[in-house]
Amino acid sequence: RLNAAGARAIQIRTGDLCHLEADQVNRAFQQLALDGVDLLVIENVGNLVCPTAYDLGEQLRLVLLAAGGGAWWLYSERDSLIADAIRTYGPQILGVPVKLGGVKTDVANQTAALHGLVIGNPAGFATPHALSLSAVSVKLDIGSLTKDVILIKEISVVKPDISYEHKSGGSNLDVIQRNAESYVVKKTAEFGGGKDDKKDAAKKEPGKKLIIENFYLKDARANVSAEILQGKAMSVPIADLHLTD
């Protein structure tokens, strides 16, 4: 519609991302004749947070929120939308079953929590899962998302149960890591990444820094197994942990 109205427009597909990134915008620039252009608008349609958190090199940033029933629906259903996204994309990225009891976000208190998360094992491994946990919660300084340093006030991981199972060819955790890396490589290739990104990497400005003020680990347990044990594991409790800064 913009092209039909006489305004030159380039559509950028972000794939699984909820936001635009500077390198995607830069590639789109190559398709535009910028001589004589007085105003360039980058329209970034996403959820209520992501589009404002990434620097695209713009001189002015405006945030427009959908009004009325649509905005209220997104706000009221945000927990189920996040949970559905984890259940859908988790298995695709990790290559194993992913179960989730639920998500609870509290915008006023700037907190978010996952409950009843279970990450299964790749095919051929006998232990019940790679990771399960009762809850993981994060308290974030939302205002820091638009700054150079993102501040996480607290991360709390409750009752994680981690299983390390080794067999010929590597461990269950090795396989999950390779699955995730393969997914990233595949998606990067699909959406235009590759050699040019590597060449430009050294020219890019440093990314955002992250500060975690408090990290809590509670009631953790580690399990170690080998192929010869046929799914049985040696289980070791891990002492509670509190790390600061």
3-class DSSP state of 212: strand
Find all residues with CB under 8 Å of 194, minimum gap 6, and list them.
188
Residues 118-156: tens digit of each pLDDT: 999 999 898 999 999 999 999 998 888 888 888 999 999
pLDDT at residue 62 above 80?
no
CB 33 within 8 A of CB 25: no
pLDDT at residue 58 above 90?
no
Find all residues with CB under 8 Å of 176, minimum gap 6, and list them.
94, 95, 96, 119, 122, 130
pLDDT tier at 22 (50, 70, 90 boundaries)? confident
d(CA 101, CA 96): 17
Residues 158-206: tens digit of each pLDDT: 999 999 999 888 899 999 999 999 998 888 887 665 555 555 555 555 6
pLDDT tier at 30 (50, 70, 90 boundaries)? confident
Task: Tell me the pTM.
Answer: 0.64
What is the rounded average pLDDT of the residues 238-242? Answer: 96
Residues 68-120: tens digit of each pLDDT: 444 544 556 788 888 999 999 999 999 999 999 999 998 888 899 999 999 99
Between strands 220-226 and 209-212, the pairing is unpaired
d(CA 212, CA 208): 13
What pLDDT is stored for residue 36 in this prediction?
A: 67
Query: Which spans in 77-171 are helix H?
Result: 78-94
pLDDT at residue 208 above 90?
no
